Amino acid sequence: MCGIIGYIGEIHATDGGVTGEAADDDTPGSVGEIVHRGLKNLEYRGYDSAGVALVGAASGLTVAKRSGEVGALSVPDVPDATLGVGHTRWSTHGPPTDANAHPHTDCVGDVAVVHNGIVENYEALKRELSDHEFTSETDTEVIPHLIEEELTGVDGDGDADLLAAVRRVEDRLEGSYAICAVREGDDRIVVARRGSPLVLGRGEDAAFVASDVTAFLEHTRDVTYLEDGDVAALSPDGVEIFASGEPVERETETVTWEADAAEKGGYEHYMRKEIHEQPESLRQTLAGRLDVDGGDVDLDVSFPPGFLADLEEIRIVACGTSYYAGRYAAQLFEELAGVRATVEIASEYEFGAGRTPDRTLVVAVTQSGETADTLGAVRRANAAGARTFAVTNTLGSTVTREVDGTAFIRAGPEIGVAATKTFASQVATLAMLAVAVGRDRGALAAADARSVLEDLQGLPGAVQQVLDEEKQVREAAREYRDSEAFFFVGRALGVPVALEGALKLKEISYDHAEGFAAGELKHGPLALVTPDTPVLAVLTDGARADETMNNVTEAQTRGAPALGCVSAGEEFGTLDVSFEVPDVGVVEPLVANVYLQLFAYHVANEKGRSIDKPRNLAKSVTVE
């Protein structure tokens, strides 16, 4: 989830920073300075590396890029530049290096491209471009080379129009993307969008394009949101937008947010923004990895020959939310891969006697890749001679250098301390790993694998359906916000979701919340149940809904209100509140979790809590 900024034209600041006529001494600086400031505004979308491409009539195309934060980027002085694009990266393909930083160029160095998203078919495209010189490990680099092919043609006399070239290239790309392309000698920025956001900023004598309006809000509040499939050209004369090759008009809106709200996409808190980003994050997690028809998964990871066939045990080590993702995954490994799986809190992990190191796989789950307790567990596993593997969100993090293999969840940066979208992407990645291991071991038939992959494929849409019901969740949160305590219950795959739901509520609302297996209610917790103790239950496929509901009824007879996340088409008439979960099979409990995230958020918001920075907590725990 990278950040893109593009600018063309001249700009004059007025009061409030909105485009319009003003005195010359109010101009904000050169094109390079404007693009660089836009990148700083977007750095929350990615901070692995940054770069710019500037185009001037005499100077031509100038590119500067480097790994590290935006502040470390030295933007060249190009006085005649009239347009430029910039990029701040969150690494997905290739580690955060100077070579992998955007912009990427063609062989000649006439075309520069910045890109957000994932080109799923980049390997096939790269093979087609075997006569081109590639200098990075990224999927993005195929795009400028494809544009180069379209501009020159095989025989050297192809169409020389950048807009037409981008249109044809866009038709060849699979996956999600937002693209900005510039060319030496061309006074336009050409952009295309499919699945990743792009918004245009319009001024009287300037135009902007960016991933978020925060990039240019200081300059203009008049914006146009591009739709999927749109291709646009920004020029000194204005903006042209095309859909299916035909000119179209898109509505111009006036943004009323302040700058800090714009950084959050108009949301009051990062946490809510990140809850709503889950469909996009899950699409990125799954992109290019599912072969549904073949019942196979490609996570771009490998194990020694025969290792998975001889595997006796998978031991998952993690902390907090990652631990609950691991608990969900352990059940999937046992069911889909036919291998014993255990989950341990990383700070408590020891390799333990009675295990064969060369037949044990230790999987570390860590969003940041820097969690001290998890790194300690990895080191103990390595010392014992076990094979180690990481599931993480961060390329170049410490854990990736200390394990034998890594799968990246590709969820994009998460700013809020309380993890939301990374939990969903962790479970999805681990589910794919379970399918891959099961298929390799011969424990999972192709037909059964296809069923699971179809469920995974439906995840983004199912989560969006839940998000569309946020008003109902907000009303429930308002009704129960003053409760004395909250119980979260489930069975089977519902248990880790109940635990995670309770964690979210306690993290940000500071209310007492407890999650546990529903069957444990009658073994002690019922003593705490009162009419001021709402019970939130996972009542979906994969969570043994009928048995769980029996336990919920026990709490209701003691006066407790009951809220349930229920599979579509099912009814539990005694529930006080029922949230419908779309039909996605084995990942239904994961979709139910989105309701619990929203419930926690709105309870905390009703109480006026510091949601993004809850007291006493940090985003990444780097000390033991």
pLDDT tens per residue across span 89-102: 988 888 889 999 99
Residues 289 and 363 in one domain: yes
Integer Cα distance of 139 and 163 in angstroms: 21
Residues 357 and 492 in one domain: no
The pTM of this model reads 0.79
Residues 326 and 450 in one domain: yes
**197-225 pLDDT, tens digit each:** 899 998 778 999 998 888 898 888 899 98
Largest Cα–Cα separation, the chain: 82
Torsion angle of the four alpha carbons 112, 116, 121, 122, in this order, in degrees rounded to the nearest 10: 40
Q: Within 10 A of 358 (CB to CB), how many other CB atoms are there?
A: 12
The better pLDDT of the pair 37, 264 is held by 37
Residues 251 and 272 in one domain: no
The percent of residues above 90 in pLDDT, for the chain, comes to 75
Residues 276 and 350 in one domain: yes
Q: Which helix (H) or strand (E) holds 599?
A: helix 588-606
Residues 70 and 219 in one domain: yes
Residues 375 and 294 in one domain: yes
Find tokens 């480097």 and name the residue. Answer: 66
**1-34 pLDDT, tens digit each:** 688 999 998 743 333 333 333 223 344 579 999 9
Q: Which helix (H) or strand (E) holds 62?
A: strand 60-67
Number of domains the chain contains: 3
Domain hosting residue 73, numbered range: 3-263
Mean pLDDT over each residue of the chain, to the nearest integer: 90
Give the lowest-confidence range in 171-175, 219-223, 363-367, 393-397. 393-397
For residue 572, the domain's CATH number is: 3.40.50.10490
Average pLDDT over residues 245-260: 82
Catalytic residue from among 126, 607, 613, 619: 619
Residues 327 and 227 in one domain: no
Contact 489, 538 (CB under 8 A): yes
Residues 223 and 278 in one domain: no
Q: Among candidates 9, 4, 3, 2, which has minimal Cα distance to 219?
A: 9
Res 160: pLDDT: 67
For residue 131, the domain's CATH number is: 3.60.20.10
Give the lowest-confidence range in 225-229, 334-338, 434-438, 533-537. 225-229
Integer Cα distance of 500 and 497 in angstroms: 5
User: Which distant-in-sequence residues (6+ apart) come within 8 Å of 242 by Cβ?
Assistant: 167, 230, 231, 232, 248
The 3-state DSSP class for residue 459 equals helix
Q: Within 10 A of 573 (CB to CB), how many other CB atoms are there?
A: 5
Integer Cα distance of 297 and 292 in angstroms: 8
Residues 213 and 280 in one domain: no
Distance from CA of residue 143 to its chain's centroid?
Answer: 22
* End-of-domain residue from the set 457, 476, 511: 457
Catalytic residue from among 2, 180, 319, 565: 2
Res 624: pLDDT: 57
Residues 235 and 302 in one domain: no
User: Which distant-in-sequence residues (6+ apart) come within 8 Å of 524 by Cβ?
Assistant: none
Average pLDDT over residues 518-536: 93
* End-of-domain residue from the set 239, 263, 287: 263
Is 40 known to be catalytic?
no
* End-of-domain residue from the set 263, 297, 318: 263
Q: Among candidates 506, 3, 22, which has minimal Cα distance to 214?
A: 3
Integer Cα distance of 328 and 492 in angstroms: 9
Residues 259 and 271 in one domain: no
Is 264 known to be catalytic?
no
Q: Among candidates 407, 404, 403, which has minimal Cα distance to 395?
A: 407
Res 24: pLDDT: 36
DSSP state of 195: B
Q: Is the pLDDT of residue 156 over 50?
A: no
Average pLDDT over residues 490-515: 97
